[in-house]
């Protein structure tokens, strides 16, 4: 009774907000996503291993991911990981030996204080009970964010910048590789190549959001 009272009081002082629209959620609401946003989010259901994504990257999801990346909303990472986990339950996730993530350049991570892909991967690792392999796949250069580079130059921007420090640990292993956004796939493909070169067996990409290029049907 007393615990319930204090929990309600805490909810009142620090209300849970929807991670997408930032609306205050009803007291005792466990999921940090409102019903309205839940209906608006375009969950991706027609994808298959080895390239999975949770939802479409649009205005609603973009601003939420921006808050996770640049505005210290680190707890969003856990909420997203929970959502990603539900999709993993529908596949044979036990075949994966390790969870890895597309790493940020070390100095950049120190400046920001966290790496959002690592936050998501860490939580997913706990939920799935698949060990996370940290500090093995590294980014050797502080590349420009892909969003600041033209589409033509994106492959070159990340070419050869990822390195596996202990390849012997990944030999013949099945890897679930996590990142936040899949746009052209250049960044995650470069990581995938580094893991393959290190001897990894199966590599499945799993990103939080994916840019879906829709054909403009109005065009002639």
Q: Which residues bind Zn ion (CB under 5 A)?
A: 18, 20-21, 34, 37
In the complex, minimum distance from the CB of residue 36 to Zn ion, in angstroms, rounded to a whole number: 5
What are the angstrom distances between the C-alpha of 200 and each of 28, 93, 100?
44, 16, 12
By C-beta, is 37 or 44 nearer to Zn ion? 37
Show contacts of 139-147: CB within 8 Å, 24+ apart: 139/103, 139/104, 139/105, 139/106, 141/105, 142/105, 142/107, 142/108, 143/105, 146/183, 146/184, 146/186, 146/187, 147/183
For the bound state, the minimum distance from the C-beta of residue 57 to Zn ion, rounded and expressed in Å, comes to 17
Two tokens, residue 168: 């012997």
Q: How far is the CB of 34 from Zn ion (least distance, A)?
A: 3
Q: Which helix (H) or strand (E) holds 27?
A: none
Question: Is the CB of 38 or the CB of 70 nearer to Zn ion?
Answer: 38
Nearer to Zn ion, 29 or 49 (CB): 29
Q: Rank residues 79 and 121 by Cβ distance to Zn ion and give the closer one.
A: 79
Shortest distance in whole angstroms from residue 77 CB to Zn ion: 18
């Amino acid at each position: 009774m007393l615990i319930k009272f204090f929990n309600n009081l805490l909810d009142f002082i620090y209300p849970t907000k929807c991670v997408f629209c930032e609306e205050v959620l009803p007291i005792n609401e466990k999921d940090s996503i409102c019903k309205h946003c839940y209906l608006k989010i375009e969950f991706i259901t027609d994808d298959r291993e080895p390239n999975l994504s949770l939802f479409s990257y649009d205005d609603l999801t973009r601003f939420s991911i921006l808050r996770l990346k640049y505005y210290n909303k680190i707890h969003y990472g856990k909420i997203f990981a929970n959502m990603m986990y539900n999709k993993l339950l529908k596949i044979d996730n036990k075949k994966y030996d390790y969870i890895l993530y597309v790493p940020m350049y070390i100095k950049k991570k120190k400046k920001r204080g966290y790496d959002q892909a690592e936050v998501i991967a860490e939580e997913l690792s706990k939920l799935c009970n698949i060990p996370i392999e940290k500090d093995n796949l590294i980014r050797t250069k502080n590349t420009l964010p892909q969003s600041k580079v033209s589409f033509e130059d994106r492959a070159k921007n990340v070419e050869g910048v990822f390195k596996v420090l202990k390849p012997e640990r990944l030999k013949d292993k099945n890897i679930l590789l996590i990142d936040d956004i899949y746009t052209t796939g250049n960044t995650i493909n470069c990581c995938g190549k580094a893991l393959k070169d290190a001897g990894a067996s199966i590599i499945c990409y799993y990103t939080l959001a994916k840019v879906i290029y829709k054909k403009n049907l109005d065009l002639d």
